[in-house]
């Protein structure tokens, strides 16, 4: 008899405490919204690419945490779009720093920055230009061995680029 009463009472708990389960669901939904809003605020406060990108990096962390914690959320697609825009800012900033060194003829610094740029953004639309400038930097630094390696890599990826002809001239010198 005790077993039957216990069984019936266990089955009735969800009905008796229906509000508790609703509160848990609402709490999860609320936490989801809070984390999304934090990430969105950081996204909106992210400055132009030419300024300090600390807030941009924090926004990426917050939004990535949202995706990790709530992968099935309806907001995931929107969060991925935010992250892509933020990464584009960092990409543009990194490229412009490397290019600044290049234009000011600080070839060693430019070389390091462009190499880091390629590592960090291997699918960048600026990859061809960065690889070209890596070759030029190595040529300007009289590093023939590394120039040839970079030249071969460049030609493998961009054989028909207008910069390929310029590099062929450097290669022959």
Q: Which two tokens stand for residue 13?
A: 């708990």
pTM recorded for the entire structure = 0.77
Q: What is the CATH number of domain 1-104?
A: 1.25.40.10
pLDDT (tens place) for every residue of the chain, 173 residues total: 444 443 334 444 444 444 444 444 444 568 888 889 988 999 999 999 999 999 999 999 999 999 999 999 999 999 999 999 999 999 999 999 999 999 999 999 999 999 999 999 999 999 999 999 999 999 999 989 999 999 999 999 999 999 999 999 999 87
**Residue range 105-173 in CATH 2.30.110.10:** no
For CATH 1.25.40.10, the residue range(s) in the chain are: 1-104, 105-173
Closest CA to 89 of 120, 47, 126, 130: 47
């Amino acid at each position: 008899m005790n077993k039957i009463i216990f069984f019936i009472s266990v089955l009735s708990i969800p009905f008796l405490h229906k509000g508790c389960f609703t509160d848990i669901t609402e709490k999860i939904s609320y936490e989801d919204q809070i984390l999304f809003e934090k990430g969105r605020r950081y996204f909106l406060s992210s400055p132009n690419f030419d300024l300090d990108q600390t807030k941009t990096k924090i926004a990426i962390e917050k939004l990535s945490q949202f995706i990790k914690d709530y992968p099935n959320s309806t907001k995931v697609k929107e969060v991925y779009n935010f992250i892509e825009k933020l990464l584009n800012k960092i990409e543009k900033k990194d490229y412009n720093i490397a290019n600044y060194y290049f234009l000011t003829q600080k070839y060693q610094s430019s070389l390091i920055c462009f190499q880091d740029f390629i590592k960090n953004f291997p699918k960048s639309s600026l990859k061809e230009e960065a690889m070209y400038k890596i070759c030029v930097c190595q040529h300007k630094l009289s590093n023939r061995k590394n120039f040839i390696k970079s030249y071969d890599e460049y030609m493998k990826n961009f054989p028909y680029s207008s910069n390929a002809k310029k590099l062929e001239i450097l290669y022959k010198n």
